[in-house]
Amino acid sequence: MLLTLTDLQRQLHQIDGKSYPAYKDIRGRYGFEDATLFIDHVQGDPFAAPSRLRVRLPLAKAGFPPETYHQRSRLIALCDFLARRFAGACQAISDRSRGSGKSGLIAMDRPGQEILERSAIIITTEFVEARFVMGLPARGRRVLGRQAAGLLGENVPQLVEAALRYTRLDQPQLNAHLNAAEDADALRAQLADLGLIAFVADGSRLPRRSGVDDRPLHSDQVVPFRTPDSLKVEVTLPHAGRVSGLGLPRGVTLIVGGGYHGKSTLLAALEVGVYNHIPGDGRELVVTDPTAVKIRAEDGRRVEGVDIRPFINNLPNHSSAAAFRTENASGSTSQAANIIEALEVGAKLLLLDEDTCATNLMIRDARMQALVEKPGEPITPFIDRVRQLADERAVSTVLVLGGSGDYFDVADTIIRMDSYVPYDVTAAAKVIAAQQPTGRQAEADGSWPASTPRIPLARSLDPSKGRREVNIKGRALRAVLFGAEEIDMTAVAQLVDEGQVRAIGQALNLARQRFMDGQRDVAGVIEAVIAEVDRHGLDALDRRLTGDYVAFRAYELAAALNRLRSLEVRQS
């Protein structure tokens, strides 16, 4: 017979004042009204990681009309919306009922500016389920049973009412959320047919509050985005209807302009244009090719067996550039590895900002070529490869540049940012390029060289630490803790949610257990993990059914694997 929430409350009153482990007995499931509460994990002491719970409501009782979830963009956005409501309702309760430490905490991670699939809210054909954590109340190491009975018996039903029932939600707001996601996905899906790699709608508001606050800058100083006529593209979207904006064509694009004129802000918006944004964000209709990868220099990173010969050859000390390996890459070799690794897993758009690039990988001008002639310089700069990438590999580049006009020769589109307003200066730049030749020698001979696939070895990944067989955690957006290792993710720009970092840690372990068979190469392993998550959802990552995980891309998963210091590969 199914126990009820009333049974649970009775039990909690009985263990009031007992020592904390008495809570262990409340693990289980409890029915209330038309919902079910699952207590999956009970913390061992008041200072341990909080207890894990789920509440489930039959879909029919939750009352969502089919048009709120009948299509994938809307389903993800609906779950995302519910997560925001649920997290907000948790916060309101916690603010009222908090004791010391985690005692009395009820929490679900609060989503940021992106609409993403999250394991915190699951909708199946049968039910909607919210997953959250609770710090079971304690005084010292004693059970506060009456307080726990209040949290579980009264607050949990309130959460269900506040966040999981359609009739209780702000419906215009919900609709705007679903429509924003559906429009952004529809727009992204049109890019390829239009020959575009990105679109920035007129009126978009790109600047953020600060480097650590991703919310929109609210100020009358914000200059809304305005497209120059020559680059204007019109699209039709399911909800927004006809929308005009900047369509960035395939090929090589430069964003030039004086310092502080909004170049990096535009590029940063393109970086996260692989994700959908919430209404009011300002970047709702800024979308980018979903395979876009931000590239930067990252000196100090480890590199394992990467074929960096397109950029580096004839290294001193007989290091091999065909299977480049280092514990401590330089600016140029790290950036070269970052590019090759992104291409390895299918990136078709590279985003670079000179602020974070290694100058010597980007350019060697005529004077430097004259002084240090080719055999003494292992680097073939990006300027000599960028056209090959576009023409032979269909890999486009967007490059923010203030310092070197040598790139005018190799660009298809040149945009100048002037006081945050974009201008098409392609023709003017081409005239200058013709009048003032750079005198450079092209340094890339032949075409883009084929790279050797790498096969990652499962034995080189060890998720254990001390007595724990699996020790995997996220540390904000900065690092994946994998076993005894801390994988540095600070240079991986397109992570936006801590849940992605945690999910990537688990995904590495899934890759190790299931897909690193000594046959699949890096691309094959990553693809298999992504396919598994597509098929079974984020729960494919963890049997424990936690609300910890947020959808991630192949590129960020590969980035974590590539930065794992213990990684070993075999070239096939």
Residues that bind ligand ADP (CB under 6 A): 206-207, 221-223, 257, 259-265, 417, 420
- State which residue, 264 or 500, has the beta carbon closest to Mg ion: 264
Taking CA atoms, 310 is separated from 106, 118, 250, 313, 404, in Å, by 52, 38, 21, 8, 21
- State which residue, 417 or 540, has the beta carbon closest to ligand ADP: 417
Query: Which entry of ligand ADP, Mg ion, none binds 120, CB below 5 to 8 A by partner kind?
Result: none
Query: Which entry of Mg ion, ligand ADP, none binds 566, CB below 5 to 8 A by partner kind?
Result: none
- Nearest one of 448, 517, 447 to 307, comparing CA atoms: 448
- State which residue, 273 or 456, has the beta carbon closest to ligand ADP: 273
DSSP letters along 175-241, please? HHHHHHHHHHHHHHHHHTTTTEEEEEETT----EEETTEEEEP-STT-------GGGEEEEEETTTE
Q: What are the residues facing 456 on neighbouring strands? A: 569
In whole angstroms, the minimum distance from the beta carbon of 112 to ligand ADP comes to 18
Query: Which entry of Mg ion, ligand ADP, none binds 54, CB below 5 to 8 A by partner kind?
Result: none
In whole angstroms, the minimum distance from the beta carbon of 355 to Mg ion comes to 5
Query: Which entry of ligand ADP, Mg ion, none binds 102, CB below 5 to 8 A by partner kind?
Result: none
In whole angstroms, the minimum distance from the beta carbon of 223 to ligand ADP comes to 4
Element (H or E) spanning 414, and its range? Answer: strand 413-418
- Nearest one of 275, 294, 397 to 341, comparing CA atoms: 294
User: Hey, CA dihedral for 343, 349, 353, 354, is it positive or negative?
Assistant: positive
CB 253 within 8 A of CB 413: yes
In whole angstroms, the minimum distance from the beta carbon of 264 to ligand ADP comes to 3
Contact between 155 and Mg ion by CB under 5 A: the answer reads no
- State which residue, 58 or 403, has the beta carbon closest to ligand ADP: 403
Question: How far apart (Å, rounded) are the C-alpha atoms in residues 275 and 113?
Answer: 10
Pure H helices in 327-385: 331-344, 359-362, 366-371
In whole angstroms, the minimum distance from the beta carbon of 417 to ligand ADP comes to 6
- State which residue, 269 or 569, has the beta carbon closest to ligand ADP: 269
- State which residue, 355 or 373, has the beta carbon closest to ligand ADP: 355
Query: Which entry of Mg ion, ligand ADP, none binds 265, CB below 5 to 8 A by partner kind?
Result: ligand ADP
Question: How far apart (Å, rounded) are the C-alpha atoms in residues 107 and 544?
Answer: 17
Query: Which entry of Mg ion, ligand ADP, none binds 435, CB below 5 to 8 A by partner kind?
Result: none
Contact between 261 and Mg ion by CB under 5 A: the answer reads no
Question: How far apart (Å, rounded) are the C-alpha atoms in residues 224 and 256?
Answer: 19
10 Å CB burial of residue 1 (0-12, 13-18, 19+) is exposed
- State which residue, 209 or 544, has the beta carbon closest to ligand ADP: 209
Question: Side-chain half-sphere of 131: how many Cα atoms within 13 Å?
Answer: 20
Question: How far apart (Å, rounded) are the C-alpha atoms in residues 545 and 403?
Answer: 51
Contacts of 476 (CB under 8 A, 6+ apart): 498, 501
C-beta nearest to Mg ion: residue: 264
Contact between 517 and Mg ion by CB under 5 A: the answer reads no
In whole angstroms, the minimum distance from the beta carbon of 504 to ligand ADP comes to 28
Taking CA atoms, 350 is separated from 197, 374, 507, 541, in Å, by 10, 26, 24, 29
In whole angstroms, the minimum distance from the beta carbon of 193 to Mg ion comes to 32
According to DSSP, residue 465 is labeled B
Binding window for Mg ion (CB under 5 A); candidates: 34-42, 86-94, 203-211, 263-271: 263-271
Q: Does residue 174 come out as left (phi exceeding 0), alpha (psi in the -120 to 50 range) or beta?
A: alpha
Contact between 170 and Mg ion by CB under 5 A: the answer reads no
The bridge status of strand 121-123 relative to strand 35-41 is unpaired
Copy the structure tokens of residue 422: 């974009």
- State which residue, 262 or 290, has the beta carbon closest to ligand ADP: 262
Binding window for Mg ion (CB under 5 A); candidates: 170-178, 195-203, 256-264, 503-511: 256-264
Query: Which entry of ligand ADP, Mg ion, none binds 277, CB below 5 to 8 A by partner kind?
Result: none
- State which residue, 400 or 455, has the beta carbon closest to ligand ADP: 400
Q: What are the residues facing 421 on neighbouring strands? A: 418
In whole angstroms, the minimum distance from the beta carbon of 400 to ligand ADP comes to 7
- State which residue, 103 or 204, has the beta carbon closest to ligand ADP: 204
Contact between 399 and Mg ion by CB under 5 A: the answer reads no
Binding window for Mg ion (CB under 5 A); candidates: 12-20, 32-40, 347-355, 366-374: 347-355
Contact between 264 and Mg ion by CB under 5 A: the answer reads yes
Binding window for Mg ion (CB under 5 A); candidates: 80-88, 115-123, 264-272, 531-539: 264-272
In whole angstroms, the minimum distance from the beta carbon of 167 to ligand ADP comes to 40
Scored b (16 or more CB within 10 A) or e, 451-489 reads bebbbbebeebbbeeeeeeebbebbeeebbbbbebebbb
Question: How far apart (Å, rounded) are the C-alpha atoms in residues 343 and 335?
Answer: 13
Query: Which entry of ligand ADP, Mg ion, none binds 222, CB below 5 to 8 A by partner kind?
Result: ligand ADP
Copy the structure tokens of residue 43: 């913390």
Contact between 45 and Mg ion by CB under 5 A: the answer reads no
- State which residue, 217 or 458, has the beta carbon closest to ligand ADP: 217
Query: Which entry of Mg ion, ligand ADP, none binds 221, CB below 5 to 8 A by partner kind?
Result: ligand ADP
Question: How far apart (Å, rounded) are the C-alpha atoms in residues 125 and 117?
Answer: 16
Query: Which entry of ligand ADP, Mg ion, none binds 52, CB below 5 to 8 A by partner kind?
Result: none
**Per-residue binding letters, 355-384, with Mg ion (x by CB under 5 A):** x-----------------------------
* Tokens 């990006």 sit on residue: 382
Give the footprint of Mg ion on this chain (CB under 5 A): 264, 355
